[in-house]
Amino acid sequence: MRVSWLQFGLGLFQGAFLIFLAPGLIGLLRYLKARMQLRPRPAGYILQPYRDLLKLMRKPAVRSATTSWVFAATPAILFAAYGLLAFMVPVFHPSTLIASDLIVVMYVLGLARFCLSLAGLDAGAPFTGLGSSREMFFHLLTEIGLILFIVAIIIRTGIINLSDIVAAHWQLNLFTEPALILLALSLALLILFECERIPIDNPATHLELTMAHKAITLEYAGRDLALLEWAEMIKLTFLLTVLINLFLPFPAFAGPGRDAGILGQILALAFFGAKIFLLTLILALWELAQPKLRLRTVIRPGLAAMVLSLTAIIYTIALKILEK
């Protein structure tokens, strides 16, 4: 019983840690981009997203009289959905508060995007309708890519539970497994699509003609906007954590049959921070170096993610046949 309470506490702490880390991750991303562009920013700029969320939380939600309950309920649904995902992925210990599989993760992401697209249509504004159309277009690409990614993982490991896959991958080395390299690149491209980091939807601007997700959130204000912004931050943090746990697990101080102890868990948390900083730095470089794409060419990264997953599937099946 004591072990169960310990696992419950660890799972609760890891999920809450990701939820409250998310605004800081976005602040770090903005700070790194500003420094790379030689724009002076104090170190406290990293905490600016927390200040923005607090400021929005103090303001009442303002909704158009023409909107229905769909528009009003969407911010809470998105925050609950992405907040739920935060409790499904391990950070420094294999214990999670909620045990789930990759299919549940895919459906939660799809549910949130579907609700957001409905809210854009419900608002009735022309730009929100444009944003909803682009959201569903991007969702088509990411959903197919995620299905192929999940199939590749299942063929390779025979496991679908997220925590079990992470525990199995803690014993592997990315640089000695070609299939893992392909899947890591595929997941990285899917994260760019799912989190609206493709340059067609520039997260640093409010120019409607270049937006997808941001065009919908323009109709929200106050607490509703705070929940939406925080939810999107949580989604990016969750997906980067999945990428770290699946493909950058080393050095790992906790795992199946391994008693890491308190010191090992603290070290694992420190290494997680270092790896999330590295990925944030790479993401900042990507957003600065990648030119803005035309809408007709934005499908290329999505198609590349599908090809990478398909190649990993073919490679894994061929390897299993040769081993027999």
Per-residue pLDDT at 234: 92
Residue 158: left if φ>0, alpha if ψ -120 to 50, beta else—which one?
A: left
Per-residue pLDDT at 3: 46
pLDDT in tens, the chain (324 residues): 444 776 777 778 888 888 999 999 999 988 988 888 888 888 888 888 999 899 988 988 888 778 888 888 888 999 999 999 888 888 877 777 777 778 888 888 888 888 888 888 887 777 777 777 777 777 777 888 888 888 888 888 777 877 777 777 766 666 667 788 888 888 888 888 887 776 655 555 555 555 666 777 778 888 888 898 899 899 999 999 888 888 877 655 444 444 456 666 677 778 888 888 898 898 888 877 776 666 667 777 778 888 888 888 888 888 778 776
Reported pTM = 0.86
Per-residue pLDDT at 203: 54
Domain boundaries, the chain: 2-323
Q: Assess contact for 251 and 271: CB atoms under 8 A.
A: yes
Peptide bond into 251 cis (omega under 30): yes
Per-residue pLDDT at 51: 92
Q: Assess contact for 286 and 197: CB atoms under 8 A.
A: yes
Per-residue pLDDT at 161: 78
* DSSP-H helix ranges across 95-161: 102-123, 126-157
Provide the 3-class DSSP secondary structure of residue 161. strand
Please give the Cα distance from 324 to 310 (Å, whole number). Answer: 22
Per-residue pLDDT at 313: 84
Q: Can you state the percent helix, strand and coil of the chain, rounding each to 5?
A: 75, 0, 25
Q: How many whole angstroms from its chain centre is CA 307?
A: 21
C-alpha dihedral over 67, 72, 74, 79, to 10 degrees?
160
Q: Assess contact for 118 and 70: CB atoms under 8 A.
A: yes
**Which of 295, 138, 111, 129 minimizes the C-alpha distance to 216?**
129
Per-residue pLDDT at 136: 79
